Chains A and B, each alone.
Chain A
Amino acid sequence: MLRLERVSKRFGELVAVNGISLNVLRGTIAAIIGPNGAGKSTLFNAITGIYPPSSGEIFFEEKRIDGWPTHRIAAAGIARTFQNIRLFSFMAAIDNVLAGEDAHLHARLWDSLLHTPRQRREEKEARERARELLRFVGLEGVSETYARNLPYGSQRRLEIARALASRPKLLLLDEPAAGMNPREKAELGDLVRAIRERGITVLLIEHDMGLVMRICEEITVLDYGECIAHGTPTEVRNDPRVIAAYLGTAVA
């Protein structure tokens, strides 16, 4: 579904990502792990078009998407959340979700100014879907609260709901469990599985090994911008290079 071919990203002298190839299969929950600074978020930025890759190719459903503008990549079916939460903080939770639906709404300036039946119907249906999504992530009670006034864990859930609103085929989660307590992490694991049940492929960056090992089928390990291992949780856990580079210190 998502295929990266020898993708590199340089910032001046710094090679943040070096020749990464990666294949995410439809319907899986896959993870990218690695120490801080390994290039994981850079890879997400390359996929979503924020920083297009310096070289290499990115294919999504066999269409080459590197070089596309960000909103077009989003419209093609890739949505993401952010490591440092980037909600629209002065908008109500439901408006955040509705903003995520934007690419699927058709009301033109004309419809909005004249308040046409088409605009009203579309807005009503969009609100209905947004409420359903808030229910799905467990935020049904706070739809009118400003995003910034939500507790941290809820903000992470709201980011997921906003991303789902764009009806992605592939969802990228950047450290979704960061700052969560064990109970919230467990709920997050269930949520990610439920997302996959909806037919959405999930690729996540995560530091919490327990969570990654429990929910992911495929794991790619990065270190210093290079891919050092790839496989199932069991394979990765037993890979000597991974143990040396990362797990050896993180899990011990």
Chain B
Amino acid sequence: MHEFLAQLINGISLGGIYALIALGYTMVYGIIGLINFAHGDVYTLGSFFALTILTALGVSGELHGVALVVDVAIALIGAALLCGIAGVLIERLAYRRLRNAPRLAPLITAIGVSFILENVMQIWKGPSPVPFPAVVPNPSVMIAGVAVGAQQMLVVGLAVVMMVALQLFIHNTRLGRAMRATAQDRDAAQLMGININKTIMLTFLIGSALAGVAGFVSGVYYQSTWFFNGFGAGLKAFTAAVLGGIGNIGGAMLGGFLIGIIESFATWKFGGQWSNVTVFAILILVLVFRPSGLLGEAVFDRA
């Protein structure tokens, strides 16, 4: 029982990261029908940006007090912002011209962008994993007999806050409404005076910024990052988005946490070498038996 709870908490933390990445997949799919395979690499980019910012701030170890709050906030917001800008640039340079092309064209382009980002990041920080400073102290509290670390709470807390904020944004603001409208009927949205280029840009901005947040928290959580991290994490987050119902925002969150929990339990029960097998076996089962996912497909709106 104790081990079960411990693994559950591990899974939820891991799932928080997947959920944050999955949101970007699902938002972009919802609005332009593209599986943005470069999205996982934007997540890695987030951890690189955060690392660079922390280094520039002279941070190399655990922080406390005001410095903890200020430096973490700067790295987090900086990584999110820079990733958001990167996402917008990717959309502008690589995808916009292909918006009305056959679906395969932007998909291949996305894979190409993914390779480019991976190679750029390899040149940037080298081919080996890079240490990420353990900025956040990790005292643990006992919950139902299980030690829960502060870093785990940070991961889950940030993920949940971001998701709630995203839901509020999408349902209660002008720009969120424009996003939903564009996702549901792009031509009609345009005819109602909605600027769909700006709206699509905004979708990439927000989705990529969330990946940046995920990149930052993963650095804090694992104390390491690697140019190739986004490949595996991106695929799993994509699986999460499909599991929840791609295009569906609530589904991405649900799918993210489920995939995290499944992976954590698979590692525990079958060993680490089986965790990917289990996750992707689930992807195949979902695609075969419930292709529209647990909560249904491409609605953007359903929470």
Residues in A neighbouring B172, C-beta threshold 8 A: 123
Contact with A along B84-120 (1 / 0, CB 8 A): 0000000000000000000000000000000000000
Q: From B165, which residue of chain A is reached at the shortest CB distance?
A: A113
Q: Does A122 contact B (CB under 8 A)?
A: yes
Q: Is the CB of B193 within 8 A of A112?
A: no
Residues in A neighbouring B175, C-beta threshold 8 A: 107, 109, 112
Restricting to B191-238, which residues have a CB under 8 Å from any CB of A?
191-196, 202, 205
Kindly name the residue among A86, A89, A99, A122 whose own CB sees the greatest number of chain B CB atoms within 10 A.
A99
Restricting to B157-209, which residues have a CB under 8 Å from any CB of A?
165, 169, 172-178, 180-181, 184-185, 187-196, 202, 205
Q: Knowing A90-B300, A105-B174, A107-B173 touch, does A100 contact B192 (C-beta < 8 A)? A: yes
Contact with B along A151-183 (1 / 0, CB 8 A): 000000000001101100000000000000000
Q: Does B41 contact A (CB under 8 A)?
A: no
Residues in A neighbouring B165, C-beta threshold 8 A: 113
Contact with A along B129-148 (1 / 0, CB 8 A): 00000000000000000000
Q: Is the CB of B195 within 8 A of A91?
A: no
The listed residue (A71, A86, A163) touching B194 by CB distance below 8 A is A71
A161 to chain B, nearest CB (A): 12
A45 to chain B, nearest CB (A): 10
Q: Is the CB of A109 within 8 A of B202?
A: yes
Q: Is the CB of B173 within 8 A of A119?
A: yes
Q: Does B263 contact A (CB under 8 A)?
A: no
Q: Knowing A79-B192, A100-B193, A109-B202 touch, does A95 contact B177 (C-beta < 8 A)? A: yes
Bound Cα distance from A162 to B176, whole angstroms: 17
Q: Does B299 contact A (CB under 8 A)?
A: yes
Residues in B neighbouring A99, C-beta threshold 8 A: 177-178, 180-181, 189, 192, 194
The listed residue (A71, A104, A163, A165) touching B190 by CB distance below 8 A is A71
Q: Knowing A74-B192, A102-B194 touch, does A88 contact B184 (C-beta < 8 A)? A: yes
Q: Mostly helix, strand, loop or mixed at chain B's interface?
A: helix
Q: From A103, which residue of chain B is reached at the shortest CB distance?
A: B193
Q: Does A50 contact B (CB under 8 A)?
A: yes
Q: How many interface contacts (CB-CB < 8 Å) are there between A and B?
A: 96
Report how many residues on chain A are interfacial, defined by Cβ distance under 8 Å: 37
Q: Does B125 contact A (CB under 8 A)?
A: no
Bound Cα distance from A75 to B191, whole angstroms: 9
Bound Cα distance from A119 to B300, whole angstroms: 23
Q: From A99, which residue of chain B is reached at the shortest CB distance?
A: B181
Bound Cα distance from A105 to B174, whole angstroms: 7
Bound Cα distance from A109 to B143, whole angstroms: 39
B83 to chain A, nearest CB (A): 15
Q: Does A246 contact B (CB under 8 A)?
A: no
Bound Cα distance from A68 to B236, whole angstroms: 43
Counting from the closest, the 7 A-B pairs by CB-CB distance are A103-B193, A74-B193, A112-B173, A99-B181, A86-B188, A70-B190, A90-B301
* Extra inter-chain contacts (11) besides given A112-B175, A113-B169, CB under 8 Å: A71-B196, A79-B191, A86-B188, A88-B181, A89-B184, A90-B300, A99-B178, A99-B181, A103-B194, A112-B176, A165-B192
A-B contact pairs, 26 of them (CB 8 A): A48-B191, A50-B187, A70-B187, A79-B191, A86-B187, A86-B188, A88-B180, A88-B181, A88-B185, A88-B188, A89-B184, A90-B180, A91-B177, A99-B192, A99-B194, A102-B174, A102-B181, A107-B174, A107-B175, A109-B175, A109-B205, A112-B173, A112-B176, A162-B192, A165-B192, A166-B193
